[in-house]
Amino acid sequence: MTSTVEPSTAETSTVEPSTAETSTVEPSTAESFSALLGAERVLPGGPEASAYLRDFSWYSPILENALADTTVDAVVRPQSVEELTACVAEAARLRVPLTLRGAGTGNYGQSLPLRSGVVVDVRGVAGVLDVTAGRISVLPGTVMKDAEDAARATGQELAVMPSTYRISTASGFISGGSGGIGAAANGDLWGDNVLAVEMLSVEEEPRLVRLEGDDVRPVLHTYGTIGVLTRIELRLVPAHDYTPVVVAFRDFATLTGFAHDLVSGDIHVRLCSVHEAVGAAMLAPISSLYEPGEDVALVLVDSGQLDALRAAVEAAGGRTVEWTVKPHISQFPFSHTILWARKAVPDSSWLQCEYASDRTEFLAQVAEVRERYAGIFLQHVEFARTGERTRPLGITPLVGLADHEDALEELLGFCRALGMTVLNPHSYVVEEGGYVGDTSQVVALKETCDPYGLLNPGKLGDSFFTSRGLTPPSARAATARR
């Protein structure tokens, strides 16, 4: 585990002070960055930038309302690390807020600025740098599918990748994601699957900071608030050939118990996504694969172990269905489920939670939630396996919650009383959305790498700022919106 700081090799790309120094931030922000990148790669705020002020936070009616008035002075689109470094230096010189953005697939408003400033689209800073045994190094805007393809060319695969891997970027995944396809075998981002990162400090002369091992943790799922990523090194594992199948049961308790045993056992699965019947029926493009009233699991299994899976399913009283439809299986697990639920029931909402790892306690929690919130809390469980520990994670459509905010609080309290961990997806704040880590480590790195507090201000949460005697930017933003 190492953490080093050194001068950035790209710092020579910063520009000399321009006439923008004596201008106001608006409207000269776009002009300042146009001098660096050219006008064709800078969008001024307003209608042209509107696409950069949207993500999938509309999954939550609370966030949709809270983030409705986000604005930006400029969107910049660098094409290299050198240009990215120049943009960071300029933002530091102008003291304008800086928000990094990948493909915009986040669900919590991770890349939507709470304060107007500059949004940096990193998708042009892309490419696979190196592939070695157990490791792939990529630039921040690299699409995860490109990383997976490069790994597979060497007989390896990503240990974990988002279900949106066809468009998601590497920096977006580790900054705003948590797990995904591969988690059922290799755990989530915190399961030693991000080996190292390099990032820039936000200063007039950006420094290059390298973090390895456990020192990477403050960067994971903290919404790009710590530093500007320039290199990401991800864990690779031996590649498998996979077959997608549906496992169907007529009893949800039996299915959830089977799924827990499957992920904990010797059959290699890259994905095990469990859906109770009401929610499964909402997965419209694949609902023809199973019968009404069947509870299902969407499974990516090692092709060489398909027969073993079929035998295990039959022995448990279920059936295995071939994947005969065109849509890829990745379009239905994890947060994709919420999209299908919203299409089926437009005023539905959602919740994230973590059940107990212990099998008996997990099944008891499933049963109690099912009894109390039948037809409302549509249980959808994704599994992550880290070492010998199997973690059932809920990404749950909520249907028919009257007076949503009060009813949600009651539901959260009920889940917590059962011993479940609730990860609130109705907040743009890191801590409320499930960030767990060493706060002092986050604070120390943040102060080192973002001394002016320009990176995505307000997203670390009120406690981060109030503990240091400051008024939280999120509180100021909320006041401004009111």
Higher pLDDT, 468 or 180: 180
Average pLDDT value for residue range 81-88: 96
* pLDDT at residue 22, rounded to an integer: 34
Cβ atoms of residues 412 and 424 within 8 Å: yes
Cβ atoms of residues 395 and 379 within 8 Å: no
Q: Give the number of other CB atoms < 10 A from CB of residue 350.
A: 23
- What domains appear along the chain, each with residue ranges and CATH number? 3-122 (3.30.43.10), 242-419 (3.40.462.10)
* pLDDT at residue 36, rounded to an integer: 86
| pLDDT surpasses 80 at 478 | no
Cβ atoms of residues 301 and 242 within 8 Å: yes
Higher pLDDT, 72 or 28: 72
Higher pLDDT, 61 or 53: 53
* pLDDT at residue 27, rounded to an integer: 45
Higher pLDDT, 355 or 476: 355
pLDDT, mean over the chain: 84
| pLDDT surpasses 80 at 333 | yes
- At 183, is the pLDDT very low, low, confident or very high (cuts 50, 70, 90)? very high
* pLDDT at residue 427, rounded to an integer: 65
Choose from 10-19, 102-111, 333-342, 376-385 the range with maximum mean pLDDT: 376-385
Share of the chain above pLDDT 90, in %: 61
- At 371, is the pLDDT very low, low, confident or very high (cuts 50, 70, 90)? very high
Choose from 96-105, 193-202, 342-351 the range with maximum mean pLDDT: 193-202
Higher pLDDT, 440 or 290: 290
* pLDDT at residue 456, rounded to an integer: 83
User: pLDDT digit string (tens) for 209-252?
Assistant: 999 999 999 999 888 889 999 999 999 999 999 999 999 999 99
User: pLDDT digit string (tens) for 262-279?
Assistant: 999 999 999 999 999 999
- Crossing angle of the two packed helices 359-372 and 252-264, in degrees rounded to 10: 150
User: 93-107, 156-170, 405-419 — which is least confidently predicted?
Assistant: 93-107
Cβ atoms of residues 146 and 168 within 8 Å: no
Cβ atoms of residues 151 and 128 within 8 Å: no
- Please state the separation of Cα 5 from the chain's center in Å: 27
| pLDDT surpasses 90 at 408 | no
- At 404, is the pLDDT very low, low, confident or very high (cuts 50, 70, 90)? low
Burial bucket for residue 40 (CB in 10 Å: 0-12, 13-18, 19+): exposed
User: 31-40, 110-119, 201-210, 373-382 — which is least confidently predicted?
Assistant: 110-119
* pLDDT at residue 471, rounded to an integer: 36
* pLDDT at residue 112, rounded to an integer: 67
**Cα 309 from Cα 269, distance rounded (Å):** 10
Q: Where are the beta strands (DSSP E) in 143-294?
A: 156-158, 194-200, 207-212, 228-238, 242-249, 269-275
DSSP codes of every residue in 101-164: ESS---SS-TTS-SS-SEEEEGGGS--EEEEETTEEEE-TT-BHHHHHHHHHTTTEEES-B-TT
**Cα 272 from Cα 262, distance rounded (Å):** 8
| pLDDT surpasses 90 at 168 | yes
Higher pLDDT, 81 or 117: 81
User: 121-135, 253-267, 359-373, 468-482 — which is least confidently predicted?
Assistant: 468-482
* pLDDT at residue 28, rounded to an integer: 67
- At 41, is the pLDDT very low, low, confident or very high (cuts 50, 70, 90)? confident
b/e per residue 311-337 (b: at least 16 CB within 10 A): ebbeebebebbebeeeeebbbbbbbbb
* DSSP helix/strand/coil, 2: coil
Q: Tokens 């993500």 sit at which residue?
A: 55
Choose from 241-245, 332-336, 399-403 the range with maximum mean pLDDT: 241-245
Average pLDDT value for residue range 317-333: 96
- Quick one: tokens of 441? 């480590």
Cβ atoms of residues 197 and 427 within 8 Å: no
| pLDDT surpasses 60 at 92 | yes
- Quick one: tokens of 257? 């118990």
| pLDDT surpasses 50 at 11 | no
DSSP codes of every residue in 367-430: HHHHHHSTTTB--EEEEEEETTEEEEEEEEEE---SSHHHHHHHHHHHHHHTTPEEE-TT-SST
Strand duo 194-200 + 242-249: pairing: unpaired
* pLDDT at residue 102, rounded to an integer: 78
| Residues forming a β-bridge with 236 | 158
